[in-house]
Amino acid sequence: MSAEVTVPAETARPARRRTTTFGLSWRILGLVIVAVMTAEVAIFLPSIARFRLVYLEQLIESGTLAALALDATPDNMVTEQVKASLLAHARVEAVVLLEPNKPKRALMNIEPRPEMQGFNLKDSGALGLILDALEAMARDGSHLIRVGGESVRLPGAMVWIVLDEQPMRAAMYGYTSRILILSIIVALFTASLLYLALRWLVVRPLQDLSTAMVAFRRAPEEGGTERAPVRRNDEIGVVDREFQILQRELRASLRQKSRLAEVGAATNKINHDLRNMLSTARLLSDRLARSDDERTRALAPTILNTIDRAARLASDAIEYVREKPSPRLAEVDLADLVDEVGIALQEQGEDKDPNLLRSWANEIGDGGIVRCDRDLLYRVFINLGRNAFEAGATTVTIRTRRSGGFLLIEVADNGPGVPAAVARQLFRPFTTGGRQGGTGLGLAIARDLVRLHGGDITLLESNAQGTLFGFTLPIA
């Protein structure tokens, strides 16, 4: 059987997986770049607002200097040529200086108009500055605005300027392009460092681990795919070591199961021939029982019992290794089924020893309707009852009680009980429970049949007064 899952050693050898185009490494790199660029955008918004604020404050300062030039003239008046030169150097179209207890000073190429959009830097908050900056960048062409603020040179004075927003917008776009280039450089540099670190610490170990898993899946029973133990003490190191332990244990278990399967297949063939031989031996033993020799007739029952036990062992072994059937579920009257099992067990007892007393007590009563496979459940009761009687019990009692959506079925006997050393492995194959002549497969078969119905069977109690088994079945 193991030959069916064995692959050549060349195929089982793991080959290092190279990073694919959209592998984990590249996804991490892309996510890091996106994360850094998102952070840069979050930083850019207050930065561009700050750039616009500083730009306007510088214009207010230059406009203030232009307005103070009027103080150098006797009548606070300048020629048109001088005014145009002062405003050009200040990069504004108009400036008005309002200082307490002093006359208003103004230089204007363009008269301020009410329809001009106005901004007072003294009253602007952080969110307002960000929205104003984004609004300015979204506009196109020439756009005159009025801006007011305080001058550093003249504390307490209020300065209003009129300017065309287009030069400021060009400066903001230039600042944005520089920020974008810097952000891309920072994102690529940061992403590269994180990519290399994560690839070394996470991706490469995971690739090695996945390669080992694939190789193990392709040839779970073959050796040669083991790797050297890792020395890391972090989570990846723990996963790697636990996988290697699981790999060794599972490989050993698979090899053992393969050997058992081969033994089972061979046993199945041997049992088939053995049963034919035992059938012939039983026919000859029946002739011995009718012999005229008294000593020969006395030995015949012993020979027949030995042949029966051998035949039962062969039948149980075939039954155990046979593929488990799929239950054909239907509503079954449990009380009627238990009565039928009791009749069969009592007939078997009479065939073995007419003087042997066997009591089969059915305490289920009405309402014991379960959804199960009648034939499979019949075999469960037969195995439990036969084991109890062969262990020395004279009375077996069947009773039920509800437990949620299941029916708990209890099988109690008055036998000598199960030894404590045997109880721990009672449902393992070939565990006889301490009695002579048993095959050790009855309880293992019963457990498999109960589990096919979605339930389970357990040893609830065992002492010198008797043994109690319990198993569950879904209520119809």
| Average pLDDT for 166-177 | 93
Closest CA to 358 of 409, 392, 381: 392
Residue 130 has pLDDT above 80, yes or no: yes
- Per DSSP, what are the bridge partners of residue 467? 413, 462
| Average pLDDT for 397-405 | 84
pLDDT tens for residues 28-81?
777 877 887 788 888 888 999 999 999 999 999 999 998 888 887 777 778 889
| pLDDT class of 137 with cuts at 50, 70, 90 | very high
The per-residue pLDDT for 426 is 80
pLDDT tens for residues 291-316?
666 666 666 666 666 666 566 656 65
**End-to-end alpha carbon distance in the chain:** 40
| Average pLDDT for 155-172 | 92
The pTM assigned to this predicted structure is 0.45
Residue 15 has pLDDT above 50, yes or no: no
The per-residue pLDDT for 43 is 85
Other CB atoms within a 10 A radius of the CB of residue 64 amount to 23
Among 6-15, 21-30, 393-402, 457-466, which stretch is predicted with the lowest mean pLDDT? 6-15
The per-residue pLDDT for 96 is 92
Question: Which pair of structure tokens corresponds to residue 142?
Answer: 């020439």
Other CB atoms within a 10 A radius of the CB of residue 401 amount to 9
Distance CA 97, CA 105 (A): 5
Q: What integer best gives the mean pLDDT of the chain?
A: 79
Q: Which has the higher per-residue pLDDT, 139 or 205?
A: 139
The per-residue pLDDT for 5 is 36
Closest CA to 24 of 303, 210, 291, 220: 210
Percent residues over pLDDT 90 in the chain: 19
Residue 167 has pLDDT above 90, yes or no: yes
Cβ(89)–Cβ(66) below 8 Å = yes
Among 86-90, 202-206, 219-223, 410-414, which stretch is predicted with the lowest mean pLDDT? 219-223
